[in-house]
Amino acid sequence: MTGTSGIAGLSGLSGIGRVAVIGTGVIGASWAAYFLARGLDVVAADPAPGAEDRLRADVAAHWPTLLAAGVADGASPDRLSFAGDAAEAAAAADFVQENGPEREDFKRALFARLDEAARPDVVLASSSSGMGATAIAQDCAAHPERVLIGHPFNPPHVIPLVEVVPGQRTTEDVVARTLAFYTAIGKKPIRVRQELPGHIANRLQAALWREAYSLVDRGVATVADIDTAISYGPGLRWALLGPFANQHLSGGPGGIAHVLEHLGPPTEAWWRDLGDPSLTPELAAKLVAGVDEALAGTDSTDLAARRDALLQLLLAAKAESDLP
């Protein structure tokens, strides 16, 4: 699908016409490109030397993928501007998406500045992959109730998931407005009901990585074998339905109740046999060597581009299906 997606009047629907993107590394640049593709204005800020040039280059690199998926009426990379600092960007925005380093001291200081600069009604969302809004908002003296986590799944310009995690002082109104905004721009937001390190998706990934690393460490399988086991096995089903729905289908007429009754005891035995690896230098070296061997001669940039193109096809097909 190319051209426009038919998303028009977004600012009227969500009350948001301009988004501040604070921090323009891999995640920030991807967010910026996606917001632009949804017909929004983006004002970005990043103190790193050459950040503006890199951001514009990254947006240009992402734009063909976004065009193939369909962009909103009026969407253009020309609607990107660069502010002198984070406070200036926040002051000009209707929504703030922060993407700074994963350090609590850094984020606390940054959000204190954002809180001081942004209008009182503006949501301050962090893309943090594992930190909580309660910690991040500790130094927000004006409106800590509008701070929450809006964690995307990488790359944000392709993957729909956003985990919305309120802090202890975040109001229900802010949560509702954030969920509505992400939904309006085509994301699939979920509300995380407790603050936990890593939220939901990263914790699930970490559980899989833990056993994958253990299997390599124990010599049960190579890196390439494990990637094949997932990408040509359960990963195909997981891309269409989640683990519970797939487990339900595995039970035939009896559904998940049948699976839990008959496969529950063996599963518990497997749990007890799962590995508990430590990421030692030796294991890290083994993993790196395994990836290098599996991907020898492969250009990572090209591989990511081909992955993203296939993801767009899958997402388009899912959108036309009646899968939940």
Per-residue pLDDT of the chain (324 residues; tens, 9 = 90+): 344 443 443 444 468 999 999 999 999 999 999 999 999 999 999 999 999 999 999 999 999 999 999 999 999 999 999 999 999 999 999 999 999 999 999 999 999 999 999 999 999 999 999 999 999 999 999 999 999 999 999 999 999 999 999 999 999 999 999 999 999 999 999 999 999 999 999 999 999 999 999 999 999 999 999 999 999 999 999 999 999 999 999 999 999 999 999 999 999 999 999 999 999 999 999 999 999 999 999 999 899 989 999 999 999 999 999 888
Strands 18-22, 161-166: pairing is unpaired
Fold that domain 201-320 belongs to in CATH: N-(1-d-carboxylethyl)-l-norvaline Dehydrogenase; domain 2 (1.10.1040)
For 133, the token pair is 């809004």
- Indicate the helix (H) or strand (E) that contains 81: strand 80-82
Where along the chain do its domains lie?
10-191, 201-320
* 131: helix, strand or coil: coil
Residue that the structure tokens 């790193």 belong to: 48
pLDDT digit string (tens) for 168-217?
999 999 999 999 999 999 999 999 999 999 999 999 999 999 999 999 99
Provide the 8-state DSSP code for 48.
Answer: S
pLDDT digit string (tens) for 273-306?
999 999 999 999 999 999 999 999 999 989 998 9
The pLDDT assigned to 323 comes to: 86
The pLDDT assigned to 14 comes to: 62
Report the CATH number of the 10-191 domain.
3.40.50.720
pTM here is 0.93
Asked if 198 and 170 count as a contact pair (C-beta separation under 8 A), the reply is no
* 58: helix, strand or coil: helix
What percentage of the chain carries pLDDT values higher than 90?
Answer: 93
Is 10-191's fold the same as 201-320's?
no
- CA angle 201/158/4 to nearest 5° reads 145
